[in-house]
């Protein structure tokens, strides 16, 4: 396979540093530029790889195959559209896209015949957890989701928790759980509500990304749990996404759509 030329956005974050290690260790990948809020001198990214603060300039100068974007939803949305305009295949590792935005972006990629991926969670184990939860939901209608992340995470609940709830909703009849007359003596104590399911978000230092989906039945519970111990756990999924967009001609939302 020919070398895949990559532009990496967000190289200084924890995910970005793990991505730099993954690309360097992958013979078929090559980083040709970084996109960062700071210049090379300000950021300390002086590795012989050019650093850009302006995406348009970066995409115009470098003929990349793939953009790996590990920034914020607002920045990633801007980078994604610009990448498509410059015929660069985007792999976006953030949440915050609406269904309408995804549909519009899919139309853009199909017009350009370009592969693209938006991935709420790159951990393969997390994707399997979601798939297993959807199977279990066919047999258990009572379910709650507890997700736990590091205390610097900006959104709650996580994109993975919302995606899990969506997948479960596809096979589960909507049901309001708990006692019909229950009251919250502390607002929010029962968590967020998605089609009658409850999602609880925990934010603590020392955590990375963890989720458990708890199903309740007559005299039993079933818990499906996934834990990411460090950011390297996401890199096989990033690698798979890059390989996928090189062979695709549309936008794919979520790794679960490429794992059989």
Q: Which residues are annotated as a binding site for NAD(+)?
A: 10-15, 93-95, 119-122
The answer to whether the CB of 161 falls within 8 A of the CB of 191 is no
d(CA 223, CA 236): 25
**Could you tell me which residues are annotated as the binding site?**
10-15, 38, 93-95, 119-122, 150, 159-160
Secondary structure class of 159 (helix, strand, coil):
helix
The answer to whether the CB of 191 falls within 8 A of the CB of 144 is yes
**Could you tell me which residues are annotated as the binding site for (S)-2,3,4,5-tetrahydrodipicolinate?**
150, 159-160
Strand residues in 101-172 grouped as ranges (E): 116-118, 142-149
Instruction: Determine phi and psi for 191, rounding to 5 degrees.
Output: 85, -175
- The residues, ordered by sequence, that sit 6+ positions from 40 with a Cβ below 8 Å of its Cβ are 46, 50, 51
Residues tagged active-site: 149, 153
d(CA 257, CA 49): 33
**Could you tell me which residues are annotated as the binding site for NADP(+)?**
38
């Amino acid at each position: 396979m020919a070398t895949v030329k990559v532009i990496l956005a967000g190289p200084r974050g924890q995910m970005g540093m793990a991505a730099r290690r993954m690309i360097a260790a992958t013979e078929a990948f090559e980083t040709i530029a970084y996109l960062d809020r700071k210049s090379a001198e300000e950021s300390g990214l002086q590795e012989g790889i050019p650093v850009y603060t302006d995406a348009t300039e970066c995409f115009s100068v470098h003929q990349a195959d793939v953009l790996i974007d590990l920034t914020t939803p607002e920045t990633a949305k801007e980078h994604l559209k610009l990448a498509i305009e410059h015929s660069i295949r985007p792999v976006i590792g953030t949440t915050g896209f609406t269904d309408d935005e995804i549909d519009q972006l899919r139309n853009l990629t199909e017009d350009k015949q370009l592969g693209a991926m938006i991935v709420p969670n790159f951990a393969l184990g997390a994707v399997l957890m979601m798939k297993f939860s959807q199977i279990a939901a066919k047999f258990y209608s009572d379910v709650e989701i507890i997700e736990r992340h590091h205390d610097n995470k900006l959104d709650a609940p996580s994109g993975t928790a919302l995606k899990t709830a969506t997948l479960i909703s596809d096979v589960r009849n909507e049901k309001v759980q708990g006692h019909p007359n229950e009251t919250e003596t502390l607002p929010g104590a029962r968590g967020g509500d998605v089609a009658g399911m409850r999602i609880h978000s925990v934010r603590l230092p020392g955590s990375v990304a963890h989720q458990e989906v708890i199903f309740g039945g007559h005299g039993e519970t079933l818990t499906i749990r996934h834990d990411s111990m460090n950011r390297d756990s996401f890199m096989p999924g990033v690698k798979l996404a890059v390989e996928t967009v090189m062979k695709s001609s549309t936008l794919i939302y979520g790794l679960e759509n490429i794992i059989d």
